[in-house]
Structure 1
């Protein structure tokens, strides 16, 4: 083992006691990559299970090759429309590695025909199962049962736009769910999203979309996080080609598209998913209690098993190559990283290295990020981790795991706590700044004030916490309601404050930019399977008589400012001034001066803000402007000038934020 000091340790002296362990992790990854190289020739070749398992046409397109991994099964046969679902008609033969295979003439099975595997398991169970790497699943509208569908169109999708995610220097992410992206109370489609929602996202200025619920999942209300078929785009929203059309259209608008990929667990359903596939109880997942994720009522992959590694790595390759995704947001990886699934307090570095980490999962994630960057060097790889594992977002060669960004999950939790438990008068900007800026040096964060988590029924978005049911009655532009005035002002302050100080990227959930007034509630038995709360009411923001337009305009101004001044790829914000009693804070980032007044009552004339450079300054963003639904208390033509002490005298209205730039 090399005795050189890993860069990760050199950059963080607190990691010195764990130097040997970090070296060991690096060695494990190197040795596994070498083993894969010897076995398959390359990591990319190794990640090819989707190309040689499932159902595919052979090289000369003359025959179907059906192959499946089910090592403990007693027998496997193919059933479907083509053989009247007869389990005796089309048996597969077993090889020595636990694979099952058969070959059928091309004319026997047609595009879009339904199929399953009839498996007699190790435990004597007899079940019809969906092939593990099936490329499409469909649900019967009457029985609600899922089947695999042969997907082999005569004409492949023709891509119109090329796109390099390396052009995205700092992601501004619009988190979206296709099914609920329209206003009508129903399911919406990939094509509708491409034609009706993408233009809105582009107009606001976001450069990245994160698509949720793409991998097939049997229960719509799981938000896509209980995946059953990992290679199948969700058929609720359309065909695979229609998903490609969505991504292609986004690329034509200069927008990267990320897949919210779920490798942290899988649905436990036997009929639709991988659970107990060969009757052994532990084919893809750990045996016994270790194979269960009790918080999510789901199954945990055995990341130490080579076939499972190969299955999941192939999934990474498939989405990047087949659908031209530009990267991933890896869901729920805290559950992967630790045997306890992250249910402890991470109050000591031992928790990351000695007390509970799942080294098999950490190794798998290192392989996954390595593969993704080999296929697409500019791929964006975002980790949803609340533990703060050191090195998660540093390159493997430095001792890290290889992600490019992590979600700043503590920030939305902080805003909820503040809004629930403290009066406006008790907000302390110094404390707020400390929470926003508390992140690991050198590991890029995606800052966000709220995501889909806060929009779900049982929780509340920031807008709804601020204004609640008053939003139903007092959002007219000529209704001067105090609660609405407060809510609109603080909504803007909270979002800009988080954007400026919280990280190196930004995330917003669909509709939150304009303060969507209602929670999300999927159709379920408890609401009579209603879609009423499972949609986005764009008519609210489009209505010129309502105030939602102002929040939307401010969000667009934030995105424009971010892009114009390259705000998020600039070094972290520097605190210039804070006064807790006045509730004033000023910071500098990307050469801009950001001034926040959280005071609910007091406006300050000629308030002195220290800045680094003397001279005149011009306001480039003002939350109190008419366009942003403010009270127009600031004259935009005034150009403040620093005094002899390089202080900038400003009129700072209550509940207002200003952005200034040195005026040349």
Structure 2
């Protein structure tokens, strides 16, 4: 090598100013002279030798050509390159034998690079990120990251003293991916990416966007995870979940924030682990009769107060509660108990933390460059550029990853409205219209459709649920029919209207009667889920119980009657933790739920009622088979606003016994009320929210009533009931 070429090479090696470090380091044969030369960067080494692997012979001691630890030398008697090891001696005289990563070829193949480049690779989580493997006979880890605009990328970590000169990565220009295989990296090692901006300065160290494990916050490094296949034992569940997820099946969801569901009573600041939650949470949910657990986001996130809705490492379950293997054990326990698991998933925005995706390679790589499209003013977060194929591919792969790798049964997609509208939370002049001049985010629409189609295609039985707060049409219509392709949509309007009604003093409810009836005007325009979520018990809204008017007895009676209305209304059900036993205070993510309240009979009664409602909902086809079909519901009494009495019939598929539901939302008992029913026979009382065992006054019609051949309310038969105060009654036709 000539002296000018040598100086240029030294500058590139020491300064890390090369996109192809494999052309700089390793063993090379000069095409002109035939000389075989070895070059390596080993800061801290006193001497470096080249040992032939086959013979164990040290063929050459390299010369240190730069004080930063750059060594080079020609193997004088070598005619061709050979397989070798590096032998390093430190200042204390200790010797260490190591593989040279720069003698190894690339791991990514041509097809992978092509698919990644066009944003059409549906298994990038198997190619990017960090994977322990054996490559060309050498054990170690393969690192790969997408950073097309960087000048240089190095992997740094506990295995190389966080020195970016040691493991500079190879760039594949066609797809913008950098990769390197690093020998001797082990599970549990921590790492980040050191990225040199194209203008020549270093960016803050970045966590791996596809890290499968991360350090527990406030630490921010990625962790080398064991990506070997987990031995799943939930085959029976996976075979039947498609049938269980059908729209005519019951779906009652218990929404959980893992960090505050329960804490260790002896260490109230300690989170329970995934494995402890498998032993405590899963049996509790089973006893309560819920069909699914919905977990607020568990993708690794830096700020605990965000509840997970500002994630950094989308592919890593948060380390606050344990390892990825521990999380899989939690999923296993759920499935063994016939409980499905839904994850809150956040593809709508991400935080601007320096170690995250923001300006990842020094450019607006994942986010829109224009702040009118790339910045969320309401949450001070960044918005993904859904129009960039690689970004859309990254997000869809993440959805597939959770459902394929972790056997997740559903995704509840957060803040869909913020994705669909270009002017969401923006004033005039703060947003950019689409090509047709309106406010629809066409790229986000395409992304959501593609995500739903791909997920349903590859993961049969997985359901997707949209948290969407507007009247956007076709949320739960298949994408092929012009919809977005979700299975369900949260009915935010129903929640808002009915809670607004319930917080009114009963004497005033007659003026707000349509708060309970308006939802039926549009109840079957989508496949709805009725949510009483965490959003309803935060930000000074108080608890569900705290919203109920009246003295203690009336508050609990109102809550029980409202739950009865929820569980019998068309639509799938969702209740946030604590609501099932009537927690009195607003939810606090920094503390356990108030489990001690279950020493009080009022709270015991609410909990028992919810369990019984779940039981009745699941065991009574008329209460769930036609949740999303107009044929499953018929009003009996809809306009009795002066008395605040509502009655309706729920119907199932052919042959299902009809159910009569009667609600009295005043504290006055009402005797001898006649209600029409569709058939003659005996109507058995299966739930009465006023029973003494629930904390009520025990006014009832037990065990039920026989229908008379007296036409009423437009029906051929009728029953006469006594209505307890502030109550919901459920009667099922019994076929003897």
Q: Please state which band the TM-score falls in when normalised by the shorter chain.
A: 0.7 to 0.9
Q: Is the 8 A contact 2:683 2:704 kept in 1?
A: no
Secondary structure in 1 matching 2:344 = strand
1:71 aligns with 2:148: yes
RMSD of the alignment, in Å? 2.6
C-alpha change, 1:283 and 1:202, in structure 2 (3 Å) is: closer
- 1:294 pairs with 371, 374, 377, which one? 377
**Is 1:619 paired with 2:693?**
no
The one-character-per-residue Cα deviations of 1:145-183 (angstroms, maximum 9, x if unpaired) are 310110026x64322222233213232111111111214
Q: Look up the SS of the partner of 2:221 in the other structure.
A: strand
Judge conservation of contact 2:701–2:722 (CA < 8 Å) in 1. Answer: no
Say yes or no: does 1:550 pair with 2:605.
Answer: yes
Question: Structure 1 residues 98 and 40, CA, compared in 2 at 3 Å: closer, same or farther?
Answer: closer
| Alpha-carbon distance in structure 2 between the residues aligned to 1:137 and 1:67 | 16
- Verify the 8 A CA contact 2:416 2:467 in the aligned structure 1: yes
Tell me by how many angstroms 1:560 deviates: 0.7
2:166 matches 1:94: no
Q: Give the equivalent residue in structure 1 for 2:78.
A: none
Per the alignment, residue 113 of structure 1 pairs with 189
Is 1:50 the counterpart of 2:125 in the alignment? Answer: yes
Correspondence for 1:575: 635
Alpha-carbon distance between aligned partners in 2 of 1:398 and 1:634, rounded to the nearest angstrom: 48
Q: 1:617 to 1:556 in 2, by over 3 A?
A: same
Runs of 4+ in 1 over 4 A off after TM superposition: 36-41, 58-61, 342-345
Q: Distance in 2 between matches of 1:364 and 1:297?
A: 22
Q: What's the secondary structure of 2:159's corresponding residue?
A: helix
Distance 1:44 1:376 in 2: 20
Report what 1:653 is aligned to: 724
Q: Which moved more, 1:181-190 or 1:323-332?
A: 181-190
Residue 260 (str. 1) matches residue 344 (str. 2): yes
Which residue pairs with 1:325 in the alignment?
Answer: 408
Moved more, 295-304 or 114-123: 114-123
Number of the residue aligned with 2:364? 281
Q: Do 1:583 and 1:597's aligned partners in 2 also have CA atoms closer than 8 Å?
A: yes
Give deviations 1:110-144, integer Å, cap 9, x for gaps: 1000101111124534321111111111036xxx3
Give the Å deviation of 1:105: 4.5
What's the offset of the Cα at 1:662? 1.9
CA distance 1:638–1:279, change in 2 (3 Å): closer
Q: Please state how far the C-alpha of 1:63 moved relative to its aligned partner.
A: 4.2
SS of 2:205's partner is strand
Distance across 2 between alignment mates of 1:438 and 1:190: 42
TM-score (structure 1 length as normaliser): 0.84
- Pick closer, same or farther for the CA change 1:278–1:597 going to 2, 3 Å: same
> Offset of 1:640 from its aligned partner?
3.8
Aligned with 1:489 (options 531, 534, 557): 557
Q: Which residue of 2 is the match for residue 470 of structure 1?
A: none
User: Are the structure 2 counterparts of residues 137 and 94 from structure 1 closer, same or farther at C-alpha, using a change threshold of 3 Å?
Assistant: same
* Largest Rg, 1 or 2: 2
Q: How does 1:577-596 map to 2 (within 5 A)?
A: 577-578=637-638, 579-590=640-651, 591-596=658-663
Task: Report the alpha carbon displacement of residue 498 of structure 1 after superposing the two structures with TM.
Answer: 2.5
Tell me the CA shift for residue 100 of structure 1. Answer: 4.0
Residue in 2 that maps onto 1:598: 665
The answer to whether structure 1 residue 308 and structure 2 residue 391 are counterparts is: yes
- The answer on whether the counterparts of 1:67 and 1:99 sit within 8 Å (CA) in structure 2 is no
Q: Report whether the alignment pairs 1:628 with 2:694.
A: yes
1:460 to 539, 542, 546: 542
CA distance in 1, matches of 2:343, 2:149: 33
Q: Match of 2:548, SS?
A: helix
1:502-559 Cα offsets, whole Å, 9 max, x none, are x42100111111111222234xxxxxxxx3xx32233322x2x432110001101111
**SS of residue paired to 2:674:** strand
Q: Contact 1:80–1:114 at 8 Å: present in 2 too?
A: yes
Q: Which residue of 1 aligns with 2:93?
A: none
| CA distance in 2 between partners of 1:355 and 1:411 (Å) | 28
- For 1:403, which of 479, 486, 491 is the aligned residue? 486
Displacement of 1:286 = 4.0
How is 1:385-534 mapped onto 2 (pairs within 5 angstroms)?
A: 385-420=468-503, 422-428=504-510, 430-439=513-522, 441-448=524-531, 450-466=532-548, 483-501=551-569, 503-522=570-589, 531=590, 534=591
Give the corresponding residue for 2:231: 158
Deviates more, 1:457-466 or 1:604-613: 457-466
Larger relative contact order, structure 1 or 2 (CA cutoff 8 Å, min sep 6): 1
- Alpha-carbon shift at residue 342 of structure 1 (Å): 6.2
- Distance change >3 Å, CA 126–CA 399, structure 1 → 2: closer
- When residues 344 and 390 of structure 1 are mapped into structure 2, their CA distance, relative to the original with a 3 A threshold, is farther
Contact 1:275/1:285 (<8 A) preserved: no
**Structure 1 counterpart of 2:421:** 338
Instruction: Give the 3-state SS of the residue equivalent to 2:730 in structure 1.
Output: strand
Q: Which residue matches 2:8? A: none
Q: Distance in 2 between matches of 1:440 and 1:173?
A: 19
Secondary structure of the residue that 2:728 maps to in structure 1? strand
Deviations 1:295-352 (A, max 9, x none): 111000000101101111110111011100012000111111110126699xxxx99x
- 2:683–2:706 contact (8 Å) kept in structure 1: yes
**Secondary structure at the residue paired with 2:555?**
helix
Between Structure 1 and Structure 2, the one with more strand by share is 2
Contact kept? 1:213, 1:260, Cα under 8 Å: yes
Write the distance in 2 (CA, Å) between the matches of 1:50 and 1:440.
Answer: 39
Instruction: State whether residues 665 and 725 of structure 2, in contact with CA within 8 Å, keep that contact through their aligned partners in structure 1.
Output: yes
1:246 aligned residue (330, 345, 350): 330
2:615 aligned residue: 560
Contact 2:367 2:382 in 1 (8 A): no
Partner SS for 1:82: coil
Cα offset, 1:642, TM superposition: 2.1
- Classify 1:188/1:505 alpha carbon distance in 2 versus 1 (closer, same or farther; 3 Å): same
TM-aligned CA distance change 1:510 to 1:283, over 3 Å: closer
Residue 128 of structure 1 aligns to a residue whose secondary structure is coil
Q: Which one has a larger percent helix, Structure 1 or Structure 2?
A: 1
Structure 2 distance, partners of 1:558, 1:73, is 57
Q: Tell me by how many angstroms 1:45 deviates.
A: 7.1
1:170 partnered with 2:170:
no
Q: Does 1:540 align with 2:597?
A: yes
1:457 offset after TM fit, Å? Answer: 4.2
Distance 2:120 2:332 in 1: 26
CA displacement at 1:406 relative to structure 2: 0.3
The CA deviation at 1:217 is 0.6
| Alpha-carbon distance between aligned partners in 2 of 1:210 and 1:139, rounded to the nearest angstrom | 22
3-state SS of 1:427 partner:
helix
What secondary structure does 2:287 align onto?
A: helix
The answer to whether the Cα contact below 8 Å between 2:133 and 2:140 also exists between their aligned partners in 1 is: yes
Return the alpha-carbon distance in structure 1 between the equivalents of residues 164 and 134 of structure 2.
27
1:263–1:331 contact (8 Å) kept in structure 2: yes
- Cα distance, 1:643–1:603 mapped onto 2, change above 3 Å: farther
